[in-house]
Each structure stands twice: as C-alpha cells, then as structure tokens.
Amino acid sequence: MADLNPTSKAFFLGPKSENEPWVRDQFQAILDQWFAWRKSLFPKDPPAITQPDKLNPAFLNSQKVLAQALTELNGLLSEETPTYSPRYLGHMVSESLLPALLGHFCALLHNPNNTSREVSRVGSVLETEAIAMLAEMIGFSAGKAWGHFTSGGTVANFEAIWRARFRMDHWLSLALFLAEKKRRRLELFEDAHMGWSQFHQLMSEHHVQESQLRPYSLAAGNPYRVAQKLSAQMGRAFEGPVFLVPGNRHFSWMKGANLFGFGQESFWTIELDSHGKMDVESLRDTIRAAKEQMRPILMVASIAGTTEAGGIDPLGDVQDYLDELARNKSWDIWHHVDAAYGGFLCAVLETQPQVLARKNVESLLAVRRAHSITIDPHKLGYVPYPCGAFLVGDKSAYAVSSFAAPYLNRQDLPAGKWVSTIEGSRSATGATATWLTGKTMGFASESFGQLVASTCRSCQGFREFLTTHLPWVVPLNPTDSNVFCFSVADKGDPLSVSNKKTSSLFFTLAEGPQFSVSTTTLNASAYSKQILAHVASFHGKKDSETLILIRCVFMNPFWANEDLNHALRQEFLAVLKTWHDREITT
C-alpha cells in the first residue's frame, strides 16, 4: 500500500496534532505580522488605548468576561463533530489542509470584502489568481476562463442559472422584437438557442440597440406580457424554458428553479442508467421532446461527483451530443457541469489517471468543454467553509445583467465583482485559502493529485476488504471516486428486508462513538435501473421503492497510512460483526 506523500504529511495538522510545533509557529507568525502591520502604519498618530485605560477596573473586567466566555466557547466546541478524524466518514468534509487554514486565517484578520476593489485591494487580486489556479486544474484555457468564489456549490449553481437565463433572454427578446417590428418570422426553439454570433449579426443587420429590447425581455420587462406576445407570434401558448437535469442531481437545482421563478414543472429529469449516471439516450429523447413542445432549453446540467455516491456522469458523451446539435442544427445549448465535489478529481488526470476508470477519465477530461462549472474547494479541495466557486471556460459566458449601486461606483477602479455576483459582500478567506494551497501544493500538481488519488485508493481498498470479509455487505456499483456506498443483505432477501437491516446497522454505527458514517436513500423514481441492478446482485426481489444505503466518504488523507488503515478497518469489521451476531440472535 502506498503511503501518503511527504507534502501531504507536512500540510495537515494530523489527527493527533502531530505537526503542532510547526503550526504554532505559523499562527504566531501571522499574529506577529498583524500586530506589526498596525504599528508600522501611521506611526505618528497618538495611541487610542492608553496605559491608564488598561488599568481601569471596567476595562479589566471586560477582558475577564471575554476570556471566560471564550473558554466556554472553546469548551462547547470540544463537543463539535470531529470531522478531522479518519474515523469520520460521514459527509464530504475532512481535515483542512494547513495552507488553506493559514490562508483563511490570514485574510480573516484583515477582513477584506471582495465585493469591490475599494474594500479589497489585495483580496480581489488574489481571487483572480486563485480562480486561474482552479481553471488550470480543470483544463480551461488560461486567459479565457473567468469566475469567482461563492459561499458554496448551491450559490455557484445559481450563478450558472442566472447567466444561462441572461443569454437566452437576450436571444429571445431580439427574436420577438424582430418579429413584431421587422416582420421576421419567430422560430421559437431555434431563436432561443441562436448563439451570440447570430445575435450580434441580427442586431447590426437590423440596427437594433440593446435598450430597445427591454420591453421584449422576460427578465427586464413584464414576463406575463412578454409571454403573451411570444404566444401570439408562435400561434400557441408559450410555456417557458426547461432545465434538463439528471435524476442524480443535488437539491440545490430545485432551489434554483424555484428562486428564479421557473416553477417545478420546468424541471425535466433525465433518466439514469443502471450505474446511476445520466443516460445520454434519455437526454436525446428529452431534447427531442423539448423541441416538439417548443420549450427552449435553459441548460443541460450534468454531475461530476454526485452527492450520493461520488458518481461521474458521461460528460464527454453529453458534450459530444450538444456539439453535434450545434454543428447540425445551430442550437447553442448551455452545458453546466456541477463538479461541486468531483472537480478536484481533475487533479489526478495527469499524474495518476489509473485510480479512475477509463470512462471517468474521459468524462473528467471533458469538463473543460462545458460552458460553466461549479466547484467547491470546501469539499474535495480541503479548504475551510465557506468556499465554493463558479467558473466559465470563456469570459463571454460570464455576462449577466449588471446592476448599478451608486455608492460602490468608482470610475477610476476596475468594475467591482458586485455587478456580476449574486452575493454582495463576499469574504476573501475562501480565495486566500485556495490561493495559498495552489501556491504551495499546486492543484494541478503531483502532490495534490497524489493526495486525491490516495483517497480513491483507500476507498477502493476498504470496499474490497469489507466485501471480502462480510458476504452480506453489498456494494453499490460502481465506486467512481472515494465514496463507498453499501447495503446489508443476505442472498435472496427482498429489498424491504435488506433496507431494515441496513437501517439497523446504520443506527448501531450512529449510536456508537467509533465511526461516523452517513446514510442515503435512492428513490426508484430516479434510480430504478440502479436499484434493480443492486437488488439483482444479491438475488433479491424489488418490493420497495427505495434503496437505503450506508455511505462512507473517504476524504481523510490518513487512511493512506498503513498502520492506521489496518487498525481502523479491523475495528470497523468488528463493529459490523458484533451487530450481525446480535441481529441474528434477536
């Protein structure tokens, strides 16, 4: 078994604070610098807090109160979920990388607000650099990619919806304007996907100013009136655009459709195959249906690293099909890859692609061909919360309605991010944490790639170990990355019985102090084929609409340590055996 690389060993505190002295020195250095910074600026100003102030009883009492409350807070936090521990396999979080923690802490003390250069002279520059580092790892072309940090993947997905809507709204409003004013025939589906080059060509051909389009815009005008005008031109009711999202999506997509006012009906689910991945055949059928029903496609979303099982959709096949439509029919359809979790798997592509199945390597190599992506450094990037990111491969896809805030408007500075981000005030901590990690470890590097690859190996090793020793542990197929899901079933068990056993084991694990795992439920409404395949693997009968699974996320780097790995998996095995013996006797 390959041990963790020395860089990773140096760049985590360690489950027993093994790197404490060095980390202490670094935090001290940050504080020293922070104090010195204040002392060095404006040295002639008189001090604001004097020696007599510091002897004032009320002053001293305040310090005492704060120190006590701080002790209390620290005490309370000692009860917090120990997500740093290798025994924690619950959710998509693990111990933070030290460069990320130090980078976050450093910026926290300076408190820049990346909403605008005025309040973030340095933070906003570092944000641009950190985004470029992520873009490089993904494989976007340098200089063309663009993006910003968000509070997480949820908001990053919203950023994509906002931009896809902006784009389609421009194209549709021009088509409607030309139909009403210039007697150009409206071809709703074609026009809604016309592409920027046709848009600009029509604009100049007909001498249209963008401001003339406002009354024809579903976003900038009155959407009900515009829908009526569209219906009149179409000769049938305009029913709005649709989102094509696979059944393995994260629930943030539903929130997004809801927030942007598209309605749940606009959410068209693409079927999943027996591996729980987007079925490209179903995507083709759904696009055909959208065309027939004259429902323009706001975007196709696919997932790299599903929240449930770390699965990777066939992104290359999706993009190939969309490219084919662009070539043959001139339909420009937005493709967003929700790589909130799996985006960092791109780090292994150059150095250790062999830890991933070939098909998944192909899929991850296609992420760079999408219009936009979501990636969460606070998941597989080992960066502290909150830190998500939204990126586009080409700056033209970043365009969005801009809003003017007069008090933030300074002509002498480059436009602030606030004009194009959903969030207003944004901490620079996520950017600096990512920046320092990129500077030291480098995301597109051997060391970061090895770290992520080692977690995939640990996961695969654990899966093999458990399924070899316990025939009643039934793994969910496939394990694409470092998330291992399994259910409990004896040969021939009906699914309902298996679900009861899995739940019982989960509660035993949840009650015990030894390990934290999570549970997830696959519904037949989305996962029917994968559930059938899973049940067939233990010769069971599908007598339930749900499949209950235990989910283990192997993000913790120290599972790559041989001694630790050996001790923990033996202990995990013992917990499961004890549960099983008890289960059989009761």
Chain positions contacting ligand PLP, by CB under 6 A: 152-154, 157, 250, 252, 303, 307, 338, 340-341, 376, 388
Nearer to ligand PLP, 336 or 580 (CB): 336
Residue closest to 339 by CA, chosen among 278, 276, 391: 391
Q: Supply the minimum distance, in Å, between the C-beta of residue 376 and ligand PLP.
A: 5
CA 583 to each of CA 485, 504, 508, 520, 550: distance values in angstroms, whole numbers, following the listed order: 21, 9, 11, 21, 17
Cα atoms found within 13 Å of the Cα of residue 399, Cβ hemisphere only: 8
One-letter-per-residue 3-state SS of 25-82: HHHHHHHHHHHHHHHHCCCCCCCCCCHHHHHCHHHHHHHHHHHHHHHHHHHHHCCCCC
Q: Beta strand 297-303 with 242-246: parallel, antiparallel or unpaired?
A: parallel
Q: Supply the minimum distance, in Å, between the C-beta of residue 551 and ligand PLP.
A: 12
- Count CB-CB contacts under 10 A for residue 457: 19
Residue 315's Cβ-count burial label (10 Å; 0-12, 13-18, 19+) is buried
Question: Cα 401 to chain center, whole Å?
Answer: 24
DSSP code per residue over 317-383? HHHHHHHHHHHHH-----EEEE-TTGGGGGGGTTT-GGGS-HHHHHHHHTGGGSSEEEE-TTTTT-P
Dig out the tokens for 294 from the structure.
């004259």
Nearer to ligand PLP, 252 or 498 (CB): 252
Nearer to ligand PLP, 341 or 515 (CB): 341
Q: Supply the minimum distance, in Å, between the C-beta of residue 209 and ligand PLP.
A: 39
Nearer to ligand PLP, 123 or 386 (CB): 386
* Whole-number Å distance between alpha carbons of 227 and 236: 11
Nearer to ligand PLP, 148 or 193 (CB): 148
Q: Supply the minimum distance, in Å, between the C-beta of residue 307 and ligand PLP.
A: 4
Q: Supply the minimum distance, in Å, between the C-beta of residue 152 and ligand PLP.
A: 3
Nearer to ligand PLP, 81 or 570 (CB): 81
Q: Supply the minimum distance, in Å, between the C-beta of residue 341 and ligand PLP.
A: 4
Give the type of residue at 357. A
DSSP code per residue over 534-546? HHHHTT-B--SSE
Nearer to ligand PLP, 4 or 318 (CB): 318
Q: Supply the minimum distance, in Å, between the C-beta of residue 271 and ligand PLP.
A: 18
DSSP conformational letter for 248: T
Helix (H) or strand (E) holding 300: strand 297-303
Q: Supply the minimum distance, in Å, between the C-beta of residue 180 and ligand PLP.
A: 40
Nearer to ligand PLP, 267 or 465 (CB): 267
Cα atoms found within 13 Å of the Cα of residue 422, Cβ hemisphere only: 21
Q: Supply the minimum distance, in Å, between the C-beta of residue 315 and ligand PLP.
A: 13
Q: Does residue 311 sit in helix, strand or coil?
A: coil
Q: Quickly tell me which residue has 């991933």 as its tokens.
A: 356
Q: Supply the minimum distance, in Å, between the C-beta of residue 520 and ligand PLP.
A: 12
DSSP code per residue over 130-142? HHHHHHHHHTPPT
Q: Supply the minimum distance, in Å, between the C-beta of residue 451 and ligand PLP.
A: 19
Q: Supply the minimum distance, in Å, between the C-beta of residue 264 and ligand PLP.
A: 18
Q: Quickly tell me which residue has 């990126």 as its tokens.
A: 391
Nearer to ligand PLP, 164 or 535 (CB): 164
- Which residues have a Cβ under 8 Å from the Cβ of 330 and sit 6 or more positions away? 190, 193, 194, 195, 198
Q: Supply the minimum distance, in Å, between the C-beta of residue 146 and ligand PLP.
A: 20
Nearer to ligand PLP, 191 or 313 (CB): 313
Nearer to ligand PLP, 218 or 383 (CB): 383
Nearer to ligand PLP, 311 or 540 (CB): 311
- Which residues have a Cβ under 8 Å from the Cβ of 464 and sit 6 or more positions away? none
* Whole-number Å distance between alpha carbons of 34 and 265: 53
Nearer to ligand PLP, 123 or 256 (CB): 256
Residue 583's Cβ-count burial label (10 Å; 0-12, 13-18, 19+) is middle
Q: Beta strand 388-392 with 372-375: parallel, antiparallel or unpaired?
A: antiparallel
Q: Supply the minimum distance, in Å, between the C-beta of residue 495 and ligand PLP.
A: 26
Nearer to ligand PLP, 495 or 553 (CB): 553
Helix (H) or strand (E) holding 528: helix 524-537
Q: Beta strand 267-270 with 388-392: parallel, antiparallel or unpaired?
A: unpaired
